[in-house]
A = this chain, B = another copy of it.
Amino acid sequence: MKKIINDPAAVVGDALRGMAAAHPELLRVRTDPALIVRADAPLAGRVALISGGGSGHEPLHGGFVGRGMLTAAVPGAVFTSPTPDAVQAAIAETEAGAGALLLVKNYTGDVLNFETAAELAGLEGTDVRAVIIDDDVAVKDSTHTAGRRGVGGTVLVEKIVGAAVERGVDLAGCEAIARRVVGRVRSMGVALTGPTVPHAGSPSFTLGDDEVEIGIGIHGEPGRERIPMEDADGLVARLLEPILADLPFEAGDEVLLFTNSMGATPLIELYLAHGVAERLLAERGVRVRRRLVGPYTTSLDMQGMSLTLLKLDDELTELWDDPVRTAALHW
């Protein structure tokens, strides 16, 4: 294992210090417990929008903290849920009377720890709701999950609900929008290599030189099947077909297409795959109205990609288009 790190046990804190140094005007970063908070939080009258989860998926979630997206992110250790007290600290630091909404990827530890924090905050009189994101169509249950996993769709939920928060939508309204996005977003990914966790020192799994795993999770969890390597047309179709069939997405639907790198797959391949996905969707009559292409929900140094489709309507499109100013997304 070669990684640009110091003490493997201190990677998350060390990276947070670098992030704090890189974005002083945008973020306030704490290391005990680890929190990434909007520099201008708390915001009076606005819902506190909080997400988090294990580290190793950067820029998710800390790179999405800022105007028009998250109020705070709670990073756990690499591929490990943050503790309830860290989530509570995020609520305490950002909630300003309008309540807090927790956006939680569906992994057993995350769900337990975020819901525990919500309950404890509730006992103290703060209105805290949690919405679970489970967009991965690959597998029903997984090593870390009861039900489907939360993956790339999380970025879209955070952007769209963040815009609602910025517009001053109240807690119930933000929760309803989050649930509506979750209901309309589906994802699936493929791994060409396994990710290497710093304190483990070797890949979570290994694939042959001519082998890929379809339906992989973002923590090295097993997917649907291992198959011989295919070309981009083949791989993209293998991701897109189950996504389309699941919701389903049909001819005439307007969608946001998010083509995501798992980390080590370079942009030249990612744009190529995006072009294939656009072509396949056009052949089906599905209309791509918005796009996002880049490494936004990663798995450390894993090579691979995922596709996410969101069925748009006018309200969701407008919220997507609203301005955003974070380390990883600006417009």
Query: Which A positions have Cβ atoms within 8 angstroms of B?
Result: 2-6, 11-12, 14-23, 55-56, 58-59, 63, 78, 192-193, 209-210, 212, 229, 231-233, 235, 259, 263-276, 278-279, 288, 291, 293, 295, 298, 300-301, 303, 305, 325, 330-331
Contact = CB atoms under 8 A, between A and B. Distances in A.
Query: How many subunits of this chain does the assembly comprise?
Result: 2
Contacts of A274: 18-19, 21-22
A3 B269 contact: yes
Contacts of A11: 268, 272
A275 B2 contact: no
A246 to B, nearest CB: 22
Q: Interface of chain A, helix or strand or loop or mixed?
A: mixed
A271 to B, nearest CB: 4
A235 B5 CA distance: 9
A21 to B, nearest CB: 4
A14 B192 contact: no
Identify the interface centre among A264, A271, A293, A331: most chain B CB within 10 Å of its CB: A271
Contacts of A272: 4-6, 11, 14-15, 17-18
Contact of A273 (B18, B192, B269, B305): B18
